[in-house]
Each structure stands twice: as C-alpha cells, then as structure tokens.
Amino acid sequence: MMNRTLIASFAAATAVFGACAAKPAPVPEPDPAPEPTSVSSYILLDRTGSMAPLWDEALTSVNAYAAEVGHERDDAVDVLETDVTLAVFDAQDGLQFDVLRQKVEPGEWDAVTSDDVSPRGMTPLFDAIVQIVSLAEADAPEKAVIVIMTDGEENSSREVTRDGAKAALDRIEQKGWEVVFLGADFGNFDDAEAVGVSAAKQMAIAPGSMQSSMERIAQKSRNYAKGADEAMEFNEEDRAVANEEAVKDRDGN
C-alpha cells in the first residue's frame, strides 16, 4: 500500500513538473522607447551696417549652430527633436525684421549666405527682441532657446521701449525657456542688463571664435533640452574659447 502511495505521489509530481517544463518561461517586456525631448532654437541676428566686417563669419556661425544642435552622439540614449529659426533685423524707416529660416530641422537646413541677406541700417534692438519672442510664443514649443547676437547698442526702436523688451523676456523666463546674449566683437552689455539678461548669460565673442562659440552654445541647447543642465550659462572655458577678455579689454569693459 505504501509503495502504491509513493508511486502515485511520484507520478503526480512528475506530471506537475512536466507541465511546468512544457510551459515556456515568460519573455520579459522590452523597455519602452524613451519619450523624445524637443527644443526649438530662435536666432536673432543683427544685420546692421556695422556688422559688415563680421558678416560672413556670423553667418557661418549660425550654420554651425544648426548643424551642431542636430548632431546626435553615438552613445546618445535620449532622442532629441529640434528645429532652428533664424531672423535678422535692422532699421530703415522703422523696424525691418526678416525671418530667413523658420522651424527648419537641422538635417533640412539650407546654409544661409550673404546671397540671402547683407548688412545695412541701424539697430532697433528692443523692437526686434519683442518680435522674436512673439514668434517663439506663437510656435509654443516645449522648450525654447533664444540666441541674440549684436555688435552694437540699441539706437532706433520705435515700437517698443526697454521696459517692453524686458517684459517679453520676463515671459520667456516664466516659461522656463532660455535666452543668451552675444556681443559680436562687442563688450558693452548695458542693453542686455537693461532687459534682464543676467551676466552669466552674456558673452562677448571675438573675430575668429564665432563658429566654435556657436557650436558650444548649440551643445548647451541640447543639454538644456535633455535636462542635463537646468540653465544655459557661460563658464570660464566658454569665455576663453570666445576670447572674451580681449574684446572687453579693448572696449574698456
């Protein structure tokens, strides 16, 4: 009797084991694909007459920014969706604000050259700032970076006061967007400070350094979009690459 019981128990255990062995182990679910992050860049470029000596280099630096902001590293984990808008400004009987490239993905970027646009006119900086902010707000991206590049001081705005430009950039800050202010061979940042751009986000860039500086800013834009950096600020290495000290020494700033 005991032998029969043992045999029956063994048979039952074998059946259970066989059933378990026949059932394949569950395949683990693959990790979900990372949600893409995104950033839109808005470059506001001073096209006034005094920019003529720097013009080709300035345009090259804009093209370099567009290429670098779309450059995905081989070891990148997060997917970044990005586009670039370029607007130029000057004053000829009022603000002239021309959008040359609008929401162009880096892979589709058509290099801007002096055949597209050439320097002229005066500097309606405050008017232009409000226009580029309005353009970004109309697009309403998740994250945005505004890069302002000028070689001179405000001298011809008719539509907007300093306070109006500051109010526009205050809205940018409230959205968590970023703005940086570049002096193209120019070290006076009184206008930048007047509209609320902090010293950490201002930088003078010397001739010969504009492309490398814009590439570094593009990488900062990527880091900001992916959450690697909470804010876009210029460090000592950025300022050394831009040769900022030489510009400021010359201008007495």
pLDDT tens for 104-144 read 999 999 999 999 999 999 999 999 999 999 999 999 999 99
What is the per-residue pLDDT for 6?
A: 45
Which residue is listed with tokens 């984990």?
Answer: 77
pLDDT given for residue 71 in this prediction: 86
Mean pLDDT, rounded, of the chain? 89
User: What pLDDT is attached to residue 253?
Assistant: 74
- Domain ranges for the chain: 37-251
Task: Please give the pLDDT value at position 227.
Answer: 87
The answer to whether 147 touches 43, Cβ cutoff 8 Å, is yes
Helix (H) or strand (E) holding 175: helix 162-175
C-alpha to C-alpha distance for 185 and 208, rounded to whole angstroms? 10
- Please choose, from the candidates 43, 40, 86, 37, the residue with its C-alpha nearest in 3D space to the C-alpha of residue 213: 43
Q: How far apart are CA 74 and CA 82, in angstroms?
A: 17
> Is residue 103 helix, strand or coil?
strand
CA-based max dimension of the chain: 113
With beta carbons less than 8 A apart as the criterion, state whether 207 and 184 touch.
no
> What backbone phi and psi angles, to 5 degrees, belong to 119?
-70, 150
Please tell me what DSSP assigns to residue 111: -
| CA torsion through residues 101, 215, 211, 88, sign | positive
For domain 37-251, the CATH architecture is 3-Layer(aba) Sandwich (3.40)
Q: How far apart are CA 133 and CA 114, in angstroms?
A: 25
Contact by Cβ (8 Å): 129, 148? yes
C-alpha distances (whole Å) from 220 to each of 5, 21, 34, 156, 251 are: 75, 54, 21, 32, 27
Query: 32 and 117 in contact (C-beta within 8 Å)?
Result: no
pLDDT block averages, 10 residues each, the chain of length 253: 48 49 58 71 98 98 96 68 97 96 97 96 98 98 97 96 97 96 96 97 98 97 86 96 94 75
